[in-house]
Structure 1
Amino acid sequence: MTDHRHAVLEGTRIRRTTTPTDAEVESAVLGMARDSVVVLSEAGDDHTYIQVWQRPDGLYQLEHRAGSPVEHFQTMTVSAEKVHTAFVGWLRDGQGWADAFTWKEISELF
């Protein structure tokens, strides 16, 4: 698994897992219930992560932060599959995982 980040997977209704597999990420994201959260963070770095909240209305509020407070972004989608693809792309530290979305910078909210 050298192509994966050293990451931690945690959230509502899932057990905290270090160095999660693609299958564990898939299960966590595609198995989400409304008003639950899944976070995949860089191990040892609370400021680098991707997270999703499935809002009560069913929309997925997807966010990622790339280290500094000014690199915090958000988007919305109705597609659990797109969220799953983004999470796996982020975990693999791949290029282009964020390209399927239109992101807005939200650092001013924090």
Structure 2
Amino acid sequence: MSCDFGVAPAADVDNALDALERYRQMWAHPRSGAVSPVVGDFVAAVNSHDNGDDLVVTIADSRGAVLRVEGPGRNRHLHTVLELSKQRDLVVLDVQTGHLYDPRGHVDAMVTVGDGRTLPYLTAALVEDFVVAGTDPDDPFLVVARDDDTYIGARRHEWVYELEHRAGSTAEHFRVYTTMHTVVRAVIWAWATGDPSWSVALPWRRVDPGSPGIEAASGAEILLDELSSMATGLTVDRLALLDTFLSARDTPVPMLDPNRHRPDDEAAQ
């Protein structure tokens, strides 16, 4: 299995479609000649990096570079490419997924996404992408960490988000629930950038060891967190919708007794 990463100066690319078109042009119309200093420096860093023989630069010219990954290890090599490009203001296009990584305005962090990706930095645009991606059952969470015991994370169950943060020990492990994706994005980005507003934006509660989390949370617990939040901005209509949803969530589904609903012999004839 192979995949490609397209790399280009960030100033020359506005979005993923721009990056994809540049990638296609590099394949369709090769150019000879010297690469730009920043791309040349990046290519040299890739070639000298200990990545085995399965990450190779296949094209490099004045427009950027194309890297090909052969075999497994795709996510590991994506991390390497992002690490080597982030300080050089180079965007990286994951050609197979169409995802564009633009390091401008990034903060260094250990980022883990539910599909197995790990990234060496975070941007406001990536937070936006990952919170939306977290609604996918196959990609259920995002964790942003400074070290193994200092992190903030989010995951979604049904359409309620669980936010957790930990500050070094089990005694400093907190959780809150919200239905507002805008709040999730703002809180995670504030935490990542060192803005203290994240700590008072939501009614954080200490996590008891072994607590099951969002799957077992009651509607009353979720509603209390939402009403206590300073940032959700609930309207009357939204509150009514939330109340309806949480009531349905806490209503057990009745079990049918097959014997009770089976027609008797006379009715069946």
TM-score normalised by the shorter chain: which range applies? Answer: 0.7 to 0.9
User: Identical aligned pairs, as a percentage?
Assistant: 29
User: Could you report, residue by residue, the CA deviation over 1:23-65 in whole angstroms, capped at 9, with x for unpaired residues?
Assistant: 11221113322441111111xx11000011101x211011000
Alignment pair present for 1:52 and 2:52 = no
Deviation at 1:102, TM superposition (A): 0.9
Aligned CA-pair RMSD:
2.2
The letter of the residue matching 1:59 is V
User: Gaps (5+ residues) in structure 1?
Assistant: none
- Larger-gyration structure (1/2): 2
2:110 matched residue in structure 1? 8
Looking at secondary structure, tell me which structure has more strand per residue: 1
Q: How does 1:71-90 map to 2 (within 5 A)?
A: 71-90=172-191
Match of 2:202 among 87, 90, 101: 101
Equivalent residue pairs, number: 106
* Aligned twin of 1:18: 120
Q: Greater helix share, 1 or 2?
A: 2
Deviation (angstroms), 1:93 = 1.1
Structure-1 residue corresponding to 2:133 = 31
Mapped partners of 1:76, 1:24: distance in 2: 21
Question: 2:182, 2:188 → 1: CA distance?
Answer: 10
The higher relative CO (CA closer than 8 Å, separation ≥ 6) is in 1
Deviations 1:58-85 (A, max 9, x none): 1101100011221000000001110000
